[in-house]
Amino acid sequence: TVMISLGTVWASTLFAVSGIITTIVENIIFLFISHPFDVGDKIQVGGDVMYVTEFGLISTVFRRTDGKKLYAPNKAISNKFIKNVRRSGTIIEDIDLEVSLNTTKEQFEELKRRILEFLKQHKNDFQLRAEIALKSLHDVGHINLGIMIEHNINFQDTFKYNVRRNELLLMIQSLLNELGISLYHENSYDVKLTCSNPAKLPIIAALSSNVQFPGQ
């Protein structure tokens, strides 16, 4: 009876130890082979945007955008889709405008010239190129105009991005007024944001002029 009891205890101990070893091995693979994040990275898991503050073999500590800390077992997050914002490519700003059908070719060309001039003056903030295209004509009196501009940063630093984005949109608004290019109706533009490198976990959002990106 004693031998049977000892055997049962030994078997239970081996089972428990093997489970712990399996968990540790899985966590090592997750942290050092899959390596989805580093300390300081801004990531998105499900609908939560968080910053990695520290990680170990068993658990990882995150700081949420509201300042609260989240302690998560690595096993719980290892089977989830993780978007790593810091490792993502730079942000492409795709601005769609509905302008009056009376807008001339000269106005479009001057708009592009002035935007490129702005980008040269802010070359540390933006790529030195801009795509401006007439997307479609509508018989109801307006033209769909697309403006595509690439930032030099991604969503890791949301505050810096917001400052640059606001400056960019205000500049475009000012140019439209100066050049006499009329919007077709109020709120007739929106801004779509995409990551410049889809292979690096793109973050995609569609925004109107008064909506902010989640996690700012």
What are 102-154's pLDDT values in tens digits? Answer: 899 999 999 999 999 999 999 999 999 999 988 887 766 788 899 999 999 99
Share of the chain above pLDDT 70, in %: 75
Residue 191 has pLDDT above 60, yes or no: no
Confidence of residue 62 (pLDDT cuts 50, 70, 90): very high
What are the structural domain ranges in the chain?
2-84, 91-208
Q: What are phi and psi of 43, to 5 degrees?
A: -130, 165
Q: Which stretch of 50-54, 91-95, 146-150, 181-185 has the lowest confidence by average pLDDT?
A: 181-185
Domain 2-84 has CATH 2.30.30.60: yes
Confidence of residue 45 (pLDDT cuts 50, 70, 90): very high
Does 184 or 54 have the greater pLDDT score? 54
This prediction's pTM: 0.69
Q: Over range 184-192, report the average pLDDT.
A: 56
| Total Cβ atoms within 10 A of residue 41 | 17
pLDDT at 2: 52
Q: Hey, what's the torsion of the CAs at 212, 40, 36, 195, to 10 degrees?
A: 30
Buried b (16+ CB within 10 A) or exposed e, 49-84: bbbbeebeeeebbbeeeeeeeeeeebeebbeeeebb
Given CA atoms 134, 137, 141, 142 in this order, what sign does their dihedral have? Answer: negative
- For residues 213 and 193, give the distance between their C-alpha atoms in angstroms, rounded to a whole number: 9
Does 45 or 215 have the greater pLDDT score? 45
Helix ranges restricted to H, the chain: 2-28, 74-77, 105-121, 158-179
Average pLDDT taken over every residue of the chain: 81
pLDDT at 26: 86
Report how far apart the first and last C-alpha atoms of the chain are (Å, whole number): 65
Domain at 91-208: CATH code: 3.30.70.600
Classify 71 as helix, strand or coil: strand
